[in-house]
Amino acid sequence: MNDLTSLAWRLVRGTLLGLAAFALVAHGVLLCGGSVWAGLLPVVLLGALAAQRDDGVRPVGPPAPLPLRAGALVLLAVVFAALCYGALATPARHWDGVVSWEMKAMVLAAAPTLDQPFFTDHAVYAQSREYPLLQPLVQASVQRLAGAAAGRALFPALWLVLVALAGSALRRAGLPGTHAWLAALGIGTMPMLVSPTSGAVDSGYAELAILTTLTAAAAAFLAKDGWLLGACCVVAVFLKPEGTVYAGAIAACAWLLGPRRLATGAVLGTAVALAVWLPLLDFLRYGPLHAAEAPWATRLAVFAGGAILAGALHERVPRIGARAALLAVAGATAAAAWCLLPGEGAGALSAYAHNLADLPQRAARTPELLVAGGEQAIAVRRFGLLFPLVACALWGGWRDLDDAGRAVAVLLAFGWTIVAVSMLLAPETDFAHHVRSSLHRLLLQWTGVAVVCAALCLRPQASAARIPSP
């Protein structure tokens, strides 16, 4: 069982690092006007997996009882079979999966370059043109190598990574086997994730990939793994527009509460990813002419400078309060910069950012949002009893959390805050409809972190252990 935990951890860690490397290289190639080589994904993934070494961390505490392990395996196997069937039987069947994600996968499978009308001619209908391209690129790469159905195998494969990630991370963090198995089972059978609905594993949405990435970030905090945390920030930026905000939240959390290697990894990962992504975003939004006006080398220099400054400040500002104050100033500066950016309304993230100035008026929607949030918290057909469980666990177990556990809890708080603020800032005029159609999907993205957080709070104190630093 120890070997299984170690193997699962190396597989998921290698997968995340490989995806981050692929994201950087592939988007860099697209930015330079090139075509992404079909073999790039397997080469990078296999390279990252091969580079994983046993770090000697072994689970402590008792293993889970055999009946629990057997029952969990059977249930997970049944769910996995259903997800494989749903993913492979047909193309995407749910809205965003069809119109946005899988459409781009088809386009990139036919020609893995941005030098084609779908991306360059704005008269061609392209939904969510400015969305990041990591998921379509991965799906297209597999599709080009092994066919369309194989491309959709990405989704159940990601579900496997998610389940293995939750279990192995908690086991390595010193939790008993029972906690790890229940956490893996909990995230693997989350009703909204496995039901045939929008945002589910086989719906083709990017919620699963973001959920896996954020769960990996929580795992990186537990393992004090700066490389993994940096990879999570990179992957988040290249998955969805809100991924940029999430990467910022991860970096802020690491800078505020984590050791230096975590802060360095997260800040650098976010900076490097944004240095590649933002010029590409300009290209997608405005076309090649505008992109040429924003030389990426300048942005790279700005982000590198920011990362170096953040690292230096982290070293010199030991007190959490002072760090929080600096973080607040940096956040306010960034928000002001976003609001002053040209191109109002162009692009998903900037459309939200430009509404920041209206936040005081929009705060009047808070009661409506709280009611909607309360409804989601007890929506058992979507989240089971996860939210009451997290509330109960945090209420009772917060004080017993170690530093890494507190970082995970704070990350979860950051995540839920971002979700709430994004609801208030939404450009849609029909607020009630927007909340109904989006809130549950944004909350789904943070369920992995919530499961990890609940498991940490429920850690029996007698067996609480600290894992050695890698």
Partner 1 sequence: MSERLLHPEMPTPAAPSTAPGTEVRPAWRRLAAALVVVHFAIAAARVPADVIGKRCERVADFRARGPIRFHLDNEFMAGADAVEWLVRHASLDSVVLHRGATSGASELVPPLIWPRLLYDESWVSGDERIPLRRPLARGPIDGRDAIAVLECDPERRGGTQALRIVGR
Find where tokens 């600096």 sit. 326
Closer residue to partner 1 in complex, CB, 333/437: 437
37 binds partner 1 (CB under 8 A): no
396, 427, 468, 470: residue in contact with partner 1 (rule CB under 8 A): 396
45, 245, 389, 450: residue in contact with partner 1 (rule CB under 8 A): 389
SS (H, E, C) 51-103: CCCCCCCCCCCCCCCHHHHHHHHHHHHHHHHHHHHHHHHCCCCCHHHHHHHHH
Rounded Cα gap, residues 301 and 298, in angstroms:
5
4, 35, 85, 328: residue in contact with partner 1 (rule CB under 8 A): 85
470 binds partner 1 (CB under 8 A): no
Token duo for residue 462 = 């007698």
Going by C-alpha positions, the residue among 187, 185, 165 that lies closest to residue 448 is 187
5 binds partner 1 (CB under 8 A): no
Count Cβ atoms below 10 Å from residue 273 Cβ, excluding itself.
Answer: 27
Q: What residues between 359 and 388 interact with partner 1 by CB under 8 A?
A: 380-381, 384-386, 388
Rounded Cα gap, residues 345 and 355, in angstroms:
9
125 binds partner 1 (CB under 8 A): yes
Q: Collapsing DSSP states into helix, strand and coil, what is residue 344?
A: coil
33, 460, 468, 470: residue in contact with partner 1 (rule CB under 8 A): 460
Binding mask 177-216 for partner 1 (x = CB under 8 A): -xx--x--xx--xxx--xxx-----x--------------
Q: How far is the CB of 214 from partner 1 (least distance, A)?
A: 20
Token duo for residue 74 = 């059977």
62, 305, 331, 343: residue in contact with partner 1 (rule CB under 8 A): 62
Closer residue to partner 1 in complex, CB, 303/387: 387
User: For residue 363, what is the DSSP state?
Assistant: G
- CB proximity list for 325: less than 8 A, separation 6 or greater: none
Taken as a whole, the chain contains a residue count of: 470
Binding site for partner 1 (CB under 8 A): 61-62, 65, 68, 75, 78-79, 82, 85-86, 89-91, 93, 95, 98-99, 102-103, 106-107, 110, 117-118, 121, 123-127, 176, 178-179, 182, 185-186, 189-191, 194-196, 202, 380-381, 384-386, 388-389, 392-393, 395-397, 399-400, 430, 433, 454, 458, 460-464
